[in-house]
Amino acid sequence: MIRPRPSLGLLDRVLRILFPGMLLLLFNGCTSISYYGQLASGQLHLLRAREPVSSVIADPGRDQQLRAHLAQSQKARTFASQRLHLPDNQSYRLYADIGRPFVVWNVFATPEFSLKPQNHCFPIAGCVAYRGYYSQSAARGEAALQRLQGMDVSIGGVEAYSTLGWFNDPIMSSMMGWGDERLATLIFHELAHQRFYVKDDTEFNESFATFVEQEGTRQWRAFRGMPPDNGALEQQRDQFIQLILDARKRLERLYALPLPAGQMRERKAAEFEQLRREYRTLRDSQWAGNKRYDAWINTPMNNARLLPFGLYDQWVPAFAVLFGQVDGDWVRFYAAVEKLGALPVEERKVALKVLAGSKSPGG
């Protein structure tokens, strides 16, 4: 039986995992102590908030809509392990009411005239292009400090994350505003991270998990007898991301030029205005005026706001080809992914480029 709260033994194991890493960082100054302290505290609070989904569903005193939503999530969770061969553990069979709209807020930062992110390295996840905070005010404080140093900064709220199998990750209250299918896709995505993860290669990890999410969702719909998604929203998303990637390429070329700072700022601002014009043209000519990305595009722009785009999608076509090469066999697919992940990083990128440039069988 799963206990509603983690046992003292579990919490001891958590502390034994976190404490050695924190000790190594104590010598880096008060900022490191404070930052890693809030990470440890935030994760422990999340662990303590967990309870079995089955208990919530069985409790007539809990919100009926919550119970129904969680009941649907468990069908997708079972499908993930039985049909997609994703880890069969207690992740996403637990629920945590965290009392806030996001579980963490990520702070992205780049130099003013560069798209190279300020990377941060962690004992478990490796190096990533952001710093996460369990408090929005703490994230804003970090962003303010980065701006004082002349950095371009962006803050993004995150509704869920994976601990890569170190802990049993819960479904969180921050995810309850989603529809049943979006919650299912999140479960597929995060369990893919548990299935395989390469340290220090965000593009590989996120593209792999995104492919599993997308293909898993297609199979989930078929399993339930639902028609294939017409792909309209996915196509709009892909078109929007391509606009962002094209703007990034233009900015990279711009930042390579030997221009004085004032002129560079003017041309940088002009590139962001071009991005807005291209978006509005696309929206009005092909999307029948759908304004789903208006809020994002109308917010003040900088380099850091562009960082997340492409990380989740860059190698998805390569993984799609790989999936076709093993005839859609998930076990063989994961084995092939593990072989790719074991390659040195430059060889891995070459192999992914070759795959992305190929056609899948029958494609």
Q: For residue 61, tell me if it sits in a domain.
A: yes
214 and 68 in a common domain: yes
Task: Measure CA of the first residue to CA of the last residue in the chain; give whole Å.
Answer: 47
Using pLDDT thresholds of 50, 70 and 90, give the confidence band for residue 359: low
Using pLDDT thresholds of 50, 70 and 90, give the confidence band for residue 8: very low
Q: For residue 287, tell me if it sits in a domain.
A: no
Percentage of residues of the chain with pLDDT beyond 90: 71
Q: Which of 16-20, 124-128, 152-156 has the highest mean pLDDT?
A: 152-156
The domain tally of the chain equals 2
197 and 52 in a common domain: yes
Q: For residue 305, tell me if it sits in a domain.
A: no
Q: For residue 342, tell me if it sits in a domain.
A: yes
Predicted confidence at residue 358, as pLDDT, reads 75
Q: pTM here?
A: 0.83
Q: Which domain holds residue 343?
A: 316-356
- pLDDT at position 329 over 70: yes
